[in-house]
């Protein structure tokens, strides 16, 4: 059940967590009866259709207490019914459904602001220094929706970890060298006519990306010719034929020239990379994507070789007869992995060993996280295994945040074939839609229409990407696009804006200063208060499990609960004290919505 907020109640732990007085007392009562020091009580929110606020599941207590579930339930129900916080308690099988008094319910939830929105959530002893790497783009093409998912996840996870109290450093590793980069360079050299972003009016990353596509088109022609000349190659894969084509050979030659510091090639490389990076920075800025430190693979790809040499001497690696260096990871069921080619050059994992050690030296994190697609799971399993084999004491706390890909209805996105949802196009399209909807709504054009449209568009995109589970493949249908209704970013923003509007309207209203929670008690009010109480637990779990979808789902649930309340319980029309108290409830909801949106790096609007 989503929003299952206080599943496990652990009174002995110091973390701030919502406390229900009644649960404390039940725990103490049961502990005393069983002569135990501590009893952990599983308390869930009561199912919606059942009468009650909290459910105590006595099946789970049976083992610890060595009593029959029904017996415990009867005991708990009887105890509850004589407790001042309890309106009524009903025992069904081994479940006890507890209906709190209005006073107790609000006292232990929305009135307890210190526990509702604590500044930090992890205990001091559990604080980590996290290094989170994400984005890691190639500088040969513009970013698409798949990158946007990565960037959004990286920002959100980093932000969630910060929110609960960890120290977090966000890192990007730009993949700015390699054959794929040379492909764009070759195509530009041959077909570019010295064009520039200025001369074409194009964003730099798109300009370079077009040459990457052009390379592929020309390459395919050469492959076709090659296969015609040599029919025995008919079944060969295109990639395997790359070195055998004239274009491919040119790309490899260019890569060697680059590594030899050929001034002409380096100048071209710096020019094109500069354009792409300018384009990336513009895209990052729109989405609020930020990094504390950016590494470039052109600086780091050499690293790792010394570490391999050292490991070779210590027997971690072995040199094969053909000269290649490998590690035996059969014991971990990862096979044998080459770490240096027979010509002495590095492979992917060797570079990552180097950059990981470098990043660790630079920041001395206690935990490292990589936000990288799940198709690279094997790579990270191998990387972590090698680092452990090398004896780095910090290698036990490395995490690959493996997320699923974003597909289109017709299948995978492929930059080379132009079947991608481009990040900038997506941002533009959504912003236009948001602007259109905003204009339809207001007779006068709001001054900050551009900002509103931008915030709404980004909220729609980010929440669409964040609300689904990390591992799920997202099927993105451009026809249906991203919705502004239902389970959406704009829906969450909308409810936040409603509250802001209400606060403006009541700013100079003549309402009493004191709230009186005892006057509330509508089902929608109780449900909303209970939902609010679950925020802290959601944040904590999201941080423990690196799962931003928990926060995203919670915000949608909270917004929905608020929306029901809004329809059922008018604020302004109510009696002054009730109005004052309901306004306080709204303020609490807005604070949590705002905190959650901030935590997911989604903007807020006071009016939309």
Partner RNA sequence: GCGCCCGUAGCUCAGCUGGAUAGAGCGUCUGCCUCCGGAGCAGAAGGUCACAGGUUCGAAUCCUGUCGGGCGUACCA
- Considering the complex, state which of residue 157 and residue 168 has its C-beta at the smaller distance from RNA: 157
Complex with RNA: residue 199 or 256, whichever CB lies closer? 256
Strands (E), 215-317: 293-296
First to last CA, the chain: 31
Least distance (Å) from RNA to the CB of residue 393?
A: 26
Asked whether the beta carbons of 499 and 586 are under 8 A apart, the reply is yes
Q: Which is nearer to RNA, 307 or 456 (CB)?
A: 456
Pairing of strands 293-296, 167-174: parallel
| 179/202 with CB nearer RNA | 179
- Reported for 224-233, long-range contacts at CB under 8 A and 24+ positions apart, including other chains, are none
In the complex, minimum distance from the CB of residue 51 to RNA, in angstroms, rounded to a whole number: 9
- If you write DSSP's letter for every residue of 274-303 in order, what string do you get? HHHHHHHHHHHHHHT---SEEEEHHHHTTT
* Closest CB 178 distance from RNA, rounded Å: 5
Give 219 or 491: the residue with its C-beta nearer to RNA.
491
CB of 513 to RNA, least distance (A): 19
Q: Nearest approach, Cβ of 523 to RNA (angstroms)?
A: 10
Give the nearest distance from C-beta 7 to RNA in angstroms.
Answer: 5
Query: Which residues neighbour 595 within 8 Å (Cβ) at sequence distance 6 or greater?
Result: 117, 163, 535
Neighbour-count burial for 404-433, b at 16+ CB within 10 Å, e otherwise: bebbbeeeebebbeeebbbbbebbebbbeb
Least distance in angstroms from the C-beta of 168 to RNA: 23
Question: 94 is written with which tokens?
Answer: 């081994």
Taking the CA atoms of 248, 252, 257 and 261 in sequence, report the sign of the dihedral they define.
positive
Q: Which is nearer to RNA, 160 or 569 (CB)?
A: 569
Nearer to RNA, 2 or 221 (CB): 2
Nearer to RNA among residue 168 and residue 352 (C-beta): 352
Q: Cα separation of 254 and 262, whole Å?
A: 9
Residue whose CB is less far from RNA, 194 or 440: 440
Shortest distance, CB of residue 563 to RNA, whole angstroms? 4
Residues in contact with 552: Cβ distance below 8 Å, sequence separation at least 6, in sequence order: 463, 466, 467, 600
- Specify the long-range contacts of residues 14-18, CB closer than 8 Å, at least 24 apart: 14/123, 15/121, 15/122, 15/123, 15/540, 16/114, 16/115, 16/118, 16/121, 16/536, 17/115, 17/536, 17/537, 17/540, 18/108, 18/109, 18/112, 18/115, 18/116, 18/533, 18/534, 18/536, 18/537
Half-sphere exposure of 471 (CA within 13 A, CB side): 3
Phi/psi at 586 (nearest 5 deg)?
-60, -40
Determine how many CB atoms are found less than 10 A away from the CB of residue 374: 15
Least distance between RNA and beta carbon 221 (Å)? 22
CB of residue 260 vs RNA: minimum separation in angstroms?
17
* Closer CB to RNA, 5 or 161, in the complex: 5
* Closer residue to RNA in complex, CB, 238/425: 238
The C-alpha atoms of residue 369 and residue 390 are separated, in whole angstroms, by 19
Min dist CB 404 to RNA, Å, is 7
User: 121, 108 in Cβ contact below 8 A?
Assistant: no
Residue in the structure block whose two tokens are 């050059």: 345
Distance in Å, CB of 474 to RNA, minimum? 5
Please identify, using beta-carbon distances, which residue of 193 and 240 lies nearer to RNA.
240
Radius of gyration for the chain, computed over Cα atoms and rounded to the nearest angstrom: 29
Q: How far is the CB of 390 from RNA (least distance, A)?
A: 19
- DSSP characters for 339-357? EE-TTS-B-HHHHHHHHHH
CB of 200 vs RNA, minimal distance in Å: 27
* Cβ nearer to RNA, comparing 364 with 412: 412
CA dist 327 to 316, 342, 356, Å?
7, 14, 18
- Residue closer to RNA by CB (options 391, 523) is 523
Strand order in the sheet with 8-9: 8-9, 41-45, 54-57, 95-100, 86-92
Residue 604 CB, shortest distance to RNA, in Å, is 11
Q: How far, in Å, CA of 155 to CA of 602, rounded?
A: 10
Closer by beta carbon to RNA, 93 or else 221? 93
Q: What are the backbone angles phi and psi of residue 256, rounded to the nearest 5°? A: -65, -40
């Amino acid at each position: 059940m989503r929003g299952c907020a206080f599943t496990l109640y652990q009174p002995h732990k110091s973390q701030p967590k919502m406390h229900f007085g009644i649960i404390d007392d039940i725990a103490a009562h049961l502990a005393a009866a069983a002569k135990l020091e501590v009893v952990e009580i599983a308390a869930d929110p009561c199912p919606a259709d059942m009468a009650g606020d909290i459910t105590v599941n006595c099946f789970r207590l049976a083992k610890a207490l060595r009593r029959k579930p029904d017996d415990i339930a009867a005991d708990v129900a009887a105890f509850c019914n004589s407790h001042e916080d309890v309106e009524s308690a009903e025992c069904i099988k081994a479940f006890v459904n507890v209906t709190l008094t209005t006073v107790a319910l609000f006292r232990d939830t929305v009135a307890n602001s210190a526990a509702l929105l604590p500044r930090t959530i992890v205990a001091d002893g559990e604080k980590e220094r996290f290094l989170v790497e994400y984005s890691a783009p190639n500088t040969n093409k513009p970013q698409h929706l798949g990158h946007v998912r990565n960037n959004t996840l990286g920002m959100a996870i980093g932000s969630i970890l910060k929110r609960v109290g960890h120290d977090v450093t966000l890192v990007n590793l730009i993949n700015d060298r390699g054959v794929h980069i040379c492909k764009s360079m070759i195509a530009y050299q041959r077909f570019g006519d010295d064009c520039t972003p200025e001369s074409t009016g194009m964003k730099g990353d798109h300009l370079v990306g077009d040459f990457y596509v052009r390379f592929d088109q020309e390459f395919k022609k050469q492959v076709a010719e090659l296969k015609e000349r040599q029919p025995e190659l008919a079944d060969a894969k295109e990639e395997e034929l790359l070195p055998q084509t004239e274009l491919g050979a040119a790309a490899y030659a260019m890569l060697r020239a680059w590594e030899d510091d050929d001034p002409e090639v380096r100048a071209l490389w710096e020019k094109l990379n500069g354009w792409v990076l300018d384009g990336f920075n513009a895209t990052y800025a729109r989405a609020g994507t930020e990094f504390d430190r950016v590494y470039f693979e052109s600086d780091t790809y050499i690293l790792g070789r010394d570490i391999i040499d050292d490991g070779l001497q210590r027997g971690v690696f072995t040199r094969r007869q053909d000269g290649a260096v490998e590690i035996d990871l059969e014991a971990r069921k990862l096979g044998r992995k080459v770490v240096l080619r027979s010509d002495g050059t590095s492979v992917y994992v060797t570079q990552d060993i180097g950059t990981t050690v470098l990043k660790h030296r630079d920041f001395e994190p206690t935990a490292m996280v990589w936000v990288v697609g799940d198709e690279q799971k094997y790579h990270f399993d191998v990387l972590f295994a090698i680092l452990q084999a090398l004896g780095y004491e910090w290698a036990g706390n490395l995490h690959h945040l493996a997320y699923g890909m974003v597909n289109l209805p017709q299948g995978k996105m492929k930059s080379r074939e132009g079947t991608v949802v481009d990040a900038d196009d997506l941002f533009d399209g959504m912003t236009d839609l948001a602007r259109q909807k905003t204009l339809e709504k207001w007779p006068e054009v709001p001054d900050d229409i551009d900002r509103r449209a931008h915030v709404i568009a980004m909220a729609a995109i980010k929440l669409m990407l964040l609300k689904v589970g990390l591992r799920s493949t997202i099927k993105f249908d451009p026809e249906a696009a991203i919705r502004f209704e239902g389970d959406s970013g704009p829906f969450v923003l909308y409810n936040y804006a409603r509250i802001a509007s209400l606060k403006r309207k009541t700013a100079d209203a003549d309402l009493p200063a004191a709230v009186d929670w005892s006057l509330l008690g509508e089902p929608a009010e109780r449900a909303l208060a209970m939902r609010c109480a679950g925020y802290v637990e959601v944040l904590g779990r999201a941080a423990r499990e690196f799962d931003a979808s928990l926060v995203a789902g919670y915000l949608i649930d909270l917004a929905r609960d608020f929306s029901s309340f809004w329809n059922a319980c008018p604020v302004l029309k109510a009696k002054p004290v009730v109005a004052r108290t309901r306004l306080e409830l709204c303020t609490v909801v807005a604070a949590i919505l705002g905190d959650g949106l901030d935590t997911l790096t989604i903007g807020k609007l006071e009016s939309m």
